[in-house]
């Protein structure tokens, strides 16, 4: 119970952060990526401060023997650089640049961004589910 | 706030705050590993509404493209994040904070293709 409440709080904080920083606004994201046009660097500050906060926070958290409400930390262990990593990231960037939404904002914007956000999320979910089912089989 | 959320999720649940990974596992993962993911995602959905109580003007979303391009973008983001094991949050924030070389290269790659896509669509294509 403590675990699911704590992850709910984490989600709430994340969603509020995406909203206040305007990551949920596709036009804002596209202006951030539009370095050759009307460049709006403010989201770079958002991403940098999220990175710095996490970088410092992780130093303290990961020194502990275990998380508060779970048996152990579950960290990615892979270090190899392969084609799916680079190809997947490249494909993700294309979709992100095209529409201005990444997975977090796609979910967070659902409550207020209207039909476009629903269409984007539906296409994204179909792609995620199909990919995972194909990979598993 | 995004950083604090990522630190809190690691401190309490021992998990990386990668939205595409949490979402993927919530949809098709093992049943015992789903509940914490769904409560995170519900929080993520409600986050903007919590902000709306104080500052409703922050809830703004205008789209640069319409219709089929939105579907195409959704498919690219869905497939790309599963293939590349992460998105802006998992690689861009958490992975880089762990100084992961995989995340660093993934971030460089999606920033580059994102910038290139915006350039092509809005400057070359003239949409």
| pLDDT tens string B42-84 | 999 999 999 999 999 999 999 999 999 999 999 999 999 999 9
Q: What's the ipTM?
A: 0.95
The reply to whether residue B83 touches residue A52, judged by beta carbons under 8 angstroms, is no
Q: How far is the CA of B127 from the CAs of A115, B117, B119, in angstroms?
A: 20, 12, 11
pLDDT score, position B126:
63
For B106, residues 6+ apart whose C-beta sits below 8 A from its C-beta are: A85, A86, A88, A89, B84, B85, B86, B91, B95
pLDDT score, position A136:
81
State CA A121 to chain mean position distance. 13
> What is the C-alpha to C-alpha distance for residues B90 and B8, in angstroms, rounded to an integer?
14
Q: Is the per-residue pLDDT at A116 higher than 70?
A: yes
Which residue of A24, A52, A67 is in closest CB contact with B3?
A: A52
The reply to whether residue B118 touches residue A90, judged by beta carbons under 8 angstroms, is no
Given a contact cutoff of 8 angstroms between Cβ atoms, the answer to whether B25 and B16 are in contact is: no
pLDDT score, position B111:
97
Mutate to test the interface with B, among A8, A104, A111 (most CBs of B within 10 A): A104
What global pTM score does this model have? Answer: 0.95
Given a contact cutoff of 8 angstroms between Cβ atoms, the answer to whether A18 and B2 are in contact is: yes
Residue A82, SS3?
coil
Task: Summarize pLDDT for B12-39 with one digit per residue, the tens.
Answer: 999 999 999 999 999 998 888 999 999 9
> Is B5 an interface residue toward A (CB < 8 Å)?
yes
What are the boundaries of each domain within chain B? 2-124
Plot region of B3 (φ>0 → left; ψ -120 to 50 → alpha; else → beta): alpha
Which residue of B17, B102, B117 is in closest CB contact with A10?
A: B17
Compute the radius of gyration of chain A from its Cα atoms.
Answer: 17
Range of the domain at A31: 2-136
Instruction: Give me the mean pLDDT over the A23-43 stretch.
Output: 95
Given a contact cutoff of 8 angstroms between Cβ atoms, the answer to whether B59 and A108 are in contact is: no
Q: Which positions in chain B touch A131 (Cβ < 8 Å)?
A: 78-79, 82-83
The reply to whether residue A117 touches residue B61, judged by beta carbons under 8 angstroms, is yes
Instruction: Give me the mean pLDDT over the B90-95 stretch.
Output: 95
Task: Summarize pLDDT for A64-89 with one digit per residue, the tens.
Answer: 999 999 999 999 999 999 999 999 99
CA atoms within 13 A on the CB side of A4: 11
């Amino acid at each position: 119970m403590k675990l699911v409440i704590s992850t709910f709080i984490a989600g709430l904080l994340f969603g509020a952060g995406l909203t206040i920083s305007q990551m949920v606004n596709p036009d804002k994201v596209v202006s951030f990526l539009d370095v050759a046009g009307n460049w709006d660097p403010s989201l770079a500050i958002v991403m940098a401060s999220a990175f710095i906060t996490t970088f410092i926070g992780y130093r303290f958290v990961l020194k502990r023997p275990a998380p508060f409400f779970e048996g152990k930390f579950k960290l990615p262990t892979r270090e190899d650089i392969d084609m799916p990593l680079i190809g997947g990231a490249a494909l993700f960037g294309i979709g992100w640049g095209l529409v201005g939404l990444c997975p977090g904002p796609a979910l967070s914007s659902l409550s207020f961004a209207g039909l476009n956000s629903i269409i984007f999320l539906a296409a994204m979910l179909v792609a995620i589910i199909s990919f995972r089912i194909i990979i598993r089989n | 706030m995004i950083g604090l959320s990522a630190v809190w999720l690691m401190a309490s649940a021992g998990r990386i705050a990668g939205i595409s990974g949490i979402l993927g596992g919530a949809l098709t993962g093992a049943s015992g590993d789903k509940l914490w993911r769904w409560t995170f995602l519900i929080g993520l959905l409600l986050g903007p509404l919590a902000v709306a109580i104080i500052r409703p003007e922050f809830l703004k979303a205008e789209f640069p493209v319409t219709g089929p391009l939105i579907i195409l973008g959704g498919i690219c983001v869905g497939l790309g994040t599963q293939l590349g094991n992460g998105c802006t949050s998992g690689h861009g924030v958490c992975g880089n904070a762990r100084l992961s070389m995989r995340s660093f290269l993934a971030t460089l790659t999606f920033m580059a293709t994102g910038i290139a896509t915006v350039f092509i669509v809005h400057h070359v294509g003239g949409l």
